[in-house]
Chain A
Amino acid sequence: MNKIIKYVITDILRNKIVVIYTVFLLAASFSVFSLEDNSSKGRLSLLNIILIVVPLVSIIFSTIYMYNSVEFIELLVSQPLKRRSIWLSLFAGLASSLSIAFFIGAGIPVLIYQANMIGFTMILTGIILSVIFAAIAFLATVKMRDKAKGIGAAIMLWLYFSLLFDGLVLFLLFQFADYPMEKPMIGLSALNPIDLSRILILLQLDVSAMMGYTGAVFKDFFGTSTGLVFSFFVLLSWIVIPVWYSTRKFNTKDL
């Protein structure tokens, strides 16, 4: 399996878009940290990058890469290789190169300016989000044969996770304002990896505010080891389920 991974990684890391993405992250992170006189504003800008830019780049790039690799995948399938290991290798290669790009672009500046729990949480969630959205892209590409449709679906998925979902949650919240919504909110947040990552960072970033009454409910949940294990497993299943399902689809897909 790792026969293919290393070639995929070397290929993607030389890709122009990935290089631009890395440089953009580097420039953005260094500028937010060095321009702002207090680091909390820098952290906020970086939070937006992690929650918005990383999933977007991750899902779109992965989708395009997969569609461009159709012939290459065919060639691999004609080799004595299991389809499962081809698919998983491609995923591993793509996910790890996106993670490497994120780590170099955002992780290193964070480690320089913010080597604390907040920084580590940011790096970790950024990497996890890169992998999750690569996984979701794999799901989109295996379901759609048409490139234009596939990229459209990827953009829609990103829009859904980063904007529409939260709008929906806010709407529900207003509708059911008279009911205790803390527990359902925790459940809902599990349905969106971006939200879950955001809450994990928020618990570090805005701990004082999160310790208020409702916040304390979240903090009591997400801040405890059970909550952390829960969050970790939910995020993990956001990787595992799309990958597993797309692998299953790919196994019987006609190329």
Chain B
Amino acid sequence: MITLKNISKQFGKLKVLDNVSTSCDKSECIALIGPNGSGKTTLIKSILGMVIPDSGTITFNGKDISNNYQYRDEIGYMPQIGRYPDNMTIGQVLGMMKDIRGKSGELDEDLIKAFSVNNLLNKRMRTLSGGTIQKVSAALAFLFKPSVLILDEPTAGLDPVASELFKEKIIAEKDKGKLVLITSHILSDLDDLVTRIIYMQDGKLVFHKSIEELRKDTGEERLVKSIAQVMVSNYE
């Protein structure tokens, strides 16, 4: 679905993406992992068109995404820190997003129901806690039934119950044949979710493997441990 070819990006002298190539297919849940400053967020932003790579091409369903914006109709994005205009109500944010997407019927309101967002529709964004804002962001990402979900540190601010509900939703969506891209520091959260791992360091893509391959290579059953092993070996 998404193909990256020789993507490089430099911020000043810092090379944040260094010749990254890979591809992601549907019905996968891919975890994007790496230490701080390894280029995960930049990679995601490149896919979303927020960062424009210095070189290389990104194709989405076979189409080059540069100078294109319609492809994002297929993407649901949940940012690391959601911030919405202070004086809008949740209802208005939802309404605005519906306006933007131009889809009114056939919405996926599972998360809205699960997180009871409906009870908060008249609350202003500035009055909400971080966790509630994350719930709104999550609900928005899934609302329009996109075929690709990009989730940046999704479970960071969620309480355990919400976190659990959210994971179930991700799995369900993956099983429906969608592509899910997740970055997270909390590896334990990813354990039963992900099917593939992309590991990045210093702007380079170190590997892109299925979780089975990773287990086989490291001999560790748990994701946390296998990743830790990878990290250690890479530090050396």
Contact = CB atoms under 8 A, between A and B. Distances in A.
Interface of A: 3-4, 7-8, 10-12, 14-15, 68-72, 74-83, 252, 254-255
B100 A77 contact: no
Contacts, number: 81
B236 interface: no
Interface of B: 9, 11, 45, 48-52, 69-73, 75, 77, 79, 81-88, 92, 95-97, 99-101, 150
Which of the listed residues A68, A75, A77 has the most CB atoms from chain B within 10 Å of its own CB?
A: A75
A252 B51 CA distance: 8
A123 B71 CA distance: 44
Contacts of B87: 10-12, 14-15
B70 A80 contact: yes
A11 to B, nearest CB: 4
Given A7-B88, A7-B92, A254-B50, A80 B83 contact: no
Q: Which secondary structure dominates chain A's binding surface?
A: helix
A77 B49 contact: yes
Contacts of A74: 50, 79
Contacts of B82: 71, 75
A254 B49 CA distance: 9
Given A3-B96, A75-B77, A78-B77, A255 B69 contact: no
A77 B50 CA distance: 6
20 contacts: A7-B92, A7-B96, A10-B88, A11-B85, A11-B87, A11-B92, A70-B83, A71-B82, A71-B83, A72-B85, A74-B50, A75-B84, A77-B50, A79-B72, A80-B71, A80-B73, A80-B100, A80-B101, A82-B69, A252-B52
B15 to A, nearest CB: 14
Nearest to A3: B99
A75 B79 contact: yes
Contact of A78 (B48, B81, B95, B99): B48
A83 to B, nearest CB: 7
A15 B75 CA distance: 31
A184 B62 CA distance: 58
**Most chain B CB inside 10 Å of its own CB: which residue of A14, A72, A252:** A72
Contacts of A69: 83, 85
A3 to B, nearest CB: 4
A4 B49 contact: no
Contacts of A12: 87
A233 B64 CA distance: 40
Nearest to B42: A254
Nearest to B9: A254
A89 B75 CA distance: 22
B64 to A, nearest CB: 16
B99 A8 contact: no
